[in-house]
A and B are shown apart, each in its own frame.
Chain A
């Protein structure tokens, strides 16, 4: 199938009434939770994952993906109006967005964020469509050693980009890999660490674990603090950016889209890194860098475009190699596996409807978001005024019932609570949950690839170094680790992170 006919086939899947409905639900919920500080896309996707049991895999991924990129749209609203980012990728938007709002330009700030996100999201999808098929043909040539080394590289890149201690991130990846082995050994059929609990034979579920580590832990942390929000109360008029606004933002949107897309492909990169890098690029390339931080529209347009393009970029490794680059993609991988589908190079061949349907649904979703975001800004502002004291008990109840509904078992609910408490303590003691969950998801694939490679090579570990792709990945991973351990680099990294905060 050529590019155009693939797109048409995808659109025919995405435009089926039930897929349109779930796409709408996804982007609506995504925008809603993006608007609400205190609950992010990861927590929401984890909470809603059990609800996707009753629908097809394609519809489920369309909805979950909608939540993901919808949250980026919604996140900008709180950054601009309240100076509190709805989620991490909108942190940088606070700098100039809130200043614009204080100067009475909340409307154009919200407008350019929505348009920029739309343009970047669409550009990202076009690049995704063009890159995915050639990457699939390369991935088909991969064997077990290549997969093993690629997954190690993915984990190391994610660890390299963590905010806190790299040693602790490595440790969390180790713990995640270990916990991923709980359950029946797929090669020998031996039960491992299941303690005669039948629910553990299938392994610890990603859904209750992610719900706990991200959803419950986030609520626990928020409960300790008093959340106060001050919404800009002036009436928001004129959402459409002026001709001058467009002229000032056009290159920021293009640069943000390109930077965002390619950073989105990197493990651990995602929308957060993309938005920060885009802001830095805009400030550097501007003739008047002094106006940044005081209401520069490019400071809103660039990062908002970048984080949406990154959302599309993150799909490349997942759909073509079956390797998630972040927690969101790990949850999507979990959702696919829950429906009996293994993502990877064969996905395009075996499930073209899913592959192209999901990609095309992003076009549709982006149009919906544009139509949704601009007229509904008044509604989102009202939502922002719902007290957290009402929100958190409802979210908790939703989590409890969602976890129970997975297998009709309280064991899953207990797992969720356990990982909620663990996630809360991890945040307190400065351990990051992202390497933990990514390693947990990759663990079964990592183990199979390692054992197969060793069986093929008769126990010779040099198999990972004698094959060019595999050795290239491992060398790159080693370079990153050496760099991370270098004192000069550590100092620079710390400074960069402090500036970003």
Chain B
């Protein structure tokens, strides 16, 4: 399927959900617009645009006709995916394991596993970076960082 057809369909479905959600809030009247009035207008507007994108994708030579698979052809698509998953893991572990440990593990994985750095670099860079960020945010800017099992 073409890229525009997929994205147009996605935004149309999202738009219809938004319109439904806006109707559930109060639309009000033109004299006294309710809470759902503006989101309803915005939802209708971008759904209409999504329909245009979708219709254009049906005409050969119009819009962005690239096939879905070609968007990632010849690219290291697994790298952003791996980093995204690592970040998701970081979010889930942050408040349980604490800032220092999770940051150390995240950076270590990126440098050793993804970038194939030698052991000493893959340990030294995360250690010094985590310590620097801890000092900057916790000590200097007085931000509260999650303290986990290590107490930092």
| Chain A interface residues (CB < 8 Å from chain B) | 50-51, 53-54, 165, 167-168, 170-175, 177-178, 181, 185, 187-188, 190, 192-193, 219-221, 223-226, 389-390, 392-394, 396-398, 400-401, 404-405, 408, 410, 413-414, 417, 420-421, 424, 428-431, 443, 446-447, 450-451, 454-455, 458-461
Given B26, B42, B91, which contacts A178 in the complex, CB threshold below 8 Å? B42
Q: How far is the CA of A220 from the CA of B84 in the complex (A)?
A: 8
Q: Chain B nearest CB: distance from A131 CB in Å?
A: 32
Q: How far is the CA of A174 from the CA of B49 in the complex (A)?
A: 9
CB of B139 closer than 8 Å to a CB of A = no
Residues of B within 8 Å of A397, CB to CB, are 103, 106-107, 129-130, 133
Q: Which of A53, A446, A451 counts the most chain B CB atoms within 10 A?
A: A451
CB of B115 within 8 A of CB of A459, answer no
Which label, helix, strand, loop or mixed, suits the secondary structure of the A interface? helix
Nearest residue in B to A178 (C-beta to C-beta)? B42
Residues of B within 8 Å of A220, CB to CB, are 80, 83-84
Q: Chain B nearest CB: distance from A114 CB in Å?
A: 30
Given B34, B56, B117, B129, which contacts A394 in the complex, CB threshold below 8 Å? B129
CB of A171 within 8 A of CB of B11, answer yes
CB of A451 within 8 A of CB of B49, answer no
Q: Please, what's the 1-or-0 string for B121-152, where 1 marks a CB less than 8 Å from any CB in chain A?
A: 00001100110010001000111111000000
CB of B35 within 8 A of CB of A192, answer yes
Given B38, B75, B130, which contacts A225 in the complex, CB threshold below 8 Å? B75
Nearest residue in A to B50 (C-beta to C-beta)? A171
Q: How far is the CA of A397 from the CA of B36 in the complex (A)?
A: 38
CB of B84 within 8 A of CB of A420, answer yes
Given B34, B71, B75, which contacts A188 in the complex, CB threshold below 8 Å? B34
- Other than the given A171-B50, A181-B39, A400-B103, 15 more pairs (CB < 8 A) read A51-B141, A165-B53, A172-B46, A175-B42, A178-B42, A219-B83, A224-B75, A389-B115, A397-B107, A401-B103, A408-B146, A417-B84, A431-B7, A447-B38, A458-B31
Q: Chain A nearest CB: distance from B101 CB in Å?
A: 13
Which 6 residue pairs are nearest across A and B when measured between Cβ atoms? A174-B46, A459-B30, A171-B49, A220-B80, A459-B31, A178-B42
Given B25, B72, B91, which contacts A414 in the complex, CB threshold below 8 Å? B91
Q: How far is the CA of A397 from the CA of B71 in the complex (A)?
A: 28
Contact A193-B39, Cβ < 8 Å, known A167-B52, A424-B80: yes
Q: Please, what's the 1-or-0 string for B14-37, where 1 marks a CB less than 8 Å from any CB in chain A?
A: 110010010001100111111111
Residues of B within 8 Å of A187, CB to CB, are 35
CB of A223 within 8 A of CB of B76, answer yes
CB of B11 within 8 A of CB of A421, answer no
Residues of A within 8 Å of B107, CB to CB, are 393-394, 397
Residues of A within 8 Å of B4, CB to CB, are 429
CB of A430 within 8 A of CB of B141, answer no
CB of A190 within 8 A of CB of B26, answer yes
Q: Chain A nearest CB: distance from B2 CB in Å?
A: 10
CB of A393 within 8 A of CB of B3, answer no
CB of B91 within 8 A of CB of A181, answer no
Q: How far is the CA of A190 from the CA of B132 in the complex (A)?
A: 43
CB of B97 closer than 8 Å to a CB of A = no
CB of B64 within 8 A of CB of A430, answer yes
Nearest residue in A to B86 (C-beta to C-beta)? A396
CB of A454 within 8 A of CB of B80, answer no
Q: How far is the CA of A167 from the CA of B51 in the complex (A)?
A: 10
Q: How far is the CA of A173 from the CA of B83 in the complex (A)?
A: 29
Residues of A within 8 Å of B34, CB to CB, are 188
Residues of B within 8 Å of A408, CB to CB, are 143-144, 146
Nearest residue in A to B141 (C-beta to C-beta)? A54
CB of B64 within 8 A of CB of A429, answer yes
Contact A404-B145, Cβ < 8 Å, known A171-B49, A410-B91: yes
CB of B32 within 8 A of CB of A455, answer yes
Q: Chain B nearest CB: distance from A491 CB in Å?
A: 14
Residues of A within 8 Å of B144, CB to CB, are 405, 408
Q: Chain B nearest CB: distance from A160 CB in Å?
A: 15
Given A171, A192, A394, A414, which contacts B39 in the complex, CB threshold below 8 Å? A192
Residues of A within 8 Å of B56, CB to CB, are 167
CB of B91 within 8 A of CB of A170, answer no
CB of A451 within 8 A of CB of B33, answer yes
CB of B33 within 8 A of CB of A454, answer yes
Residues of A within 8 Å of B32, CB to CB, are 455, 459
Residues of B within 8 Å of A429, CB to CB, are 3-4, 6-7, 64, 71
Residues of B within 8 Å of A414, CB to CB, are 91
Q: How far is the CA of A168 from the CA of B29 in the complex (A)?
A: 30
B63-88 interface with A by 8 A CB criterion: 63-64, 71-72, 75-77, 79-80, 83-84, 87-88
CB of B37 within 8 A of CB of A193, answer no
Residues of B within 8 Å of A451, CB to CB, are 33, 37-38
Residues of A within 8 Å of B63, CB to CB, are 165
Contact A190-B137, Cβ < 8 Å, known A167-B56, A224-B80: no
Contact A401-B33, Cβ < 8 Å, known A168-B53, A177-B42: no
Nearest residue in B to A388 (C-beta to C-beta)? B115
Residues of B within 8 Å of A430, CB to CB, are 3, 64
Residues of B within 8 Å of A428, CB to CB, are 3, 71-72
Nearest residue in A to B39 (C-beta to C-beta)? A181
Q: Chain B nearest CB: distance from A196 CB in Å?
A: 14
CB of A54 within 8 A of CB of B142, answer yes
CB of B87 within 8 A of CB of A454, answer no
Nearest residue in B to A54 (C-beta to C-beta)? B141
Residues of B within 8 Å of A390, CB to CB, are 111, 125
Q: How far is the CA of A177 from the CA of B21 in the complex (A)?
A: 15
Contact A401-B90, Cβ < 8 Å, known A167-B53, A220-B80, A223-B76: no
CB of A401 within 8 A of CB of B53, answer no
Q: How far is the CA of A375 from the CA of B43 in the complex (A)?
A: 53
